[in-house]
Amino acid sequence: MSVKAVVRGYMPEDVPPFGALLSLAVQQVLTMFPATVLVAILTKMDVGATLFTSGIGTIIALLVSRRRIPMYYGSSFSYIAVIMAAMIQFVPDCFNDVTMTYCPEGVRLVQAGIIGTGVLEILLGLLIVRVGKAALDKVLPASITGPVALLIGLSLAGAAINMAAANWAVALVTLAATILASVYLQGKGLLGMLPIVIGAAVGYAFSVLLGIVDFSVVDNAAWVALPNLTLPVFDGVP
Q: Spell out the per-residue pLDDT of the chain, length 238, in tens.
A: 556 666 667 777 788 889 888 998 888 888 888 889 989 998 999 999 999 999 999 999 889 888 877 788 888 888 888 999 999 999 999 999 988 889 999 999 999 999 999 999 889 888 888 888 888 888 888 888 889 888 877 877 887 888 888 899 999 999 999 999 999 988 888 888 899 999 999 999 999 999 998 888 888 888 888 899 999 988 755 5
190: Cβ–Cβ under 8 A, 6 or more apart, which residues?
19, 20, 23
What pLDDT was estimated at residue 132?
A: 86
Quote helix, strand, coil % in the chain, to nearest 5: 65, 0, 35
What pLDDT was estimated at residue 206?
A: 96
What pLDDT was estimated at residue 237?
A: 55
Q: How does 21-60 read in b/e, with b if 16+ C-beta sit within 10 Å? A: eebbeebeeeebeeebbbbbebbbbbbebbbebbeeebee
C-alpha distances (whole Å) from 167 to each of 29, 117, 139, 148, 176 are: 23, 38, 44, 30, 14
Give the three-state DSSP class for 145. helix
The reply to whether the predicted model has a pTM over 0.85 is no
Contact 47, 40 (CB under 8 A): yes
